[in-house]
Homo-oligomer: A and B are copies of this chain.
Amino acid sequence: MSGGELNPPSLAEAINAKGFTGAAGVRIVAIKPGHAEIALARRDDLLQFFGHFHGGVITALADQAAGIAVTSALPKGRIGVTVEIKVNFLSPADGIELIARANTLKMSGSIGVATVEVFSRSESAETLCAFCTATMRSLDLPGEFRQP
């Protein structure tokens, strides 16, 4: 995308610390340009009727992972925002933690597409519980959000 400097991981940390993801406790596991792995521990206020992680919470995690993956490959001062997101729920997310692994398929002009696999982790195993595709567009980070 750029011959120049890419966004530093500290931007992802700043994004993540705010609002819903900060309050829910989303944790960054690993970032490299175009890729992100983040995790979220089970908590009662993140579940649905049957006691599994709520589909919206799974989507929020996938969205965040896609955004970090795409943003981490953008030039410094640019950020990826979500145009649309699509999630298939494959099995009950009944583990103790969710892990989302995002991979940028393509950046083309200002449009990026990422896929995200979300796993439900129990004591003994990881199960693929959701598969997501997200379309992002990049824009200039407004001045008040820029990092020094």
Contact = CB atoms under 8 A, between A and B. Distances in A.
Interface of A: 14-15, 18-24, 44-51, 54-57, 59-64, 79, 81-91, 105-106, 108, 110-111, 113, 115, 128, 131, 133, 135, 137, 142, 145
Contacts of A46: 19-20
18 contacts: A18-B49, A20-B54, A21-B48, A24-B45, A55-B60, A55-B85, A59-B60, A83-B111, A84-B89, A85-B87, A86-B86, A86-B133, A88-B133, A88-B135, A90-B105, A111-B137, A113-B131, A115-B131
A90 B7 CA distance: 23
Main SS class of interface, A: mixed
A133 B117 CA distance: 13
Cβ-closest 8 pairs across A and B: A56-B60, A23-B45, A19-B47, A20-B54, A86-B86, A59-B59, A90-B106, A84-B88
A50 B108 contact: no
Contacts of A22: 45
Contacts of A86: 84-87, 133
Contact of A83 (B57, B88, B128): B88
